[in-house]
Structure 1
């Protein structure tokens, strides 16, 4: 399950930027052609955030569709799966979207004064 390593990388990137500040939420962009399963990441997120400033943070996903451009006929089209084939029959296509995997935003938790 490569989602465990990817999720650990996300947590490492966020904590490198936020330090010990508690995090309330993380939004990721995970393209539909990235090969990453959001439900598996969600499961891994709970595991790898235990004992970190991200523990209990909400994890949200943006799921951009796959898009491609045919080099033969010039058509732009949606890719519903990783089969790179244009409607004209050409397999000479360029994937232009859908493989993204990035942190879009991080929401820091409110710090409450202890009295």
Structure 2
């Protein structure tokens, strides 16, 4: 379960950035194509935050949709999986969204 490692890293980064202040809320952006399960992150986040300045913080997760650009015709298309076929028939796609995993925002008190 790589989500445990990811949640641990998120907690560690937030704790460092908080510089001793209590973290109230963390907003995490997870791409739909990132192979990261939001509910697993949510569970692991609480476990990893125990006994840190992040303990008790609300975790907001924003799932970012997958998208690609067709390298043959330049069209942009939505993707649910990290591969696909453009309406022009090309499978030569460049992923442009949906793989990200980042801390968008952190609220401290």
- TM-score, normalised with respect to structure 2: 0.94
Count how many residue pairs are aligned between Structure 1 and Structure 2.
109
Between the aligned partners of 1:85 and 1:7, the Cα distance in structure 2 is 33
Match of 1:12 in 2: 12
C-alpha distance in structure 1 between counterparts of 2:52 and 2:79, whole Å: 37
In terms of Rg, which structure is larger?
1
SS, match of residue 104 in structure 1? strand
Q: Which has the higher strand share?
A: 2
Task: Give every structure 1 segment of 4 or more consecutive aligned residues whose post-TM-superposition deviation is greater than 3 Å.
Answer: none
TM-score computed with the length of structure 1 as normaliser: 0.89
Deviations 1:24-83 (A, max 9, x none): 110011111111111000000011000000101000011111110011122111012223
Once the 2 structures are TM-superposed, how far is the Cα of residue 107 of structure 1 from its aligned partner?
0.8
Residue of structure 1 in register with 2:48 after alignment: 48
- Unpaired segments ≥5 residues, structure 1: 110-115
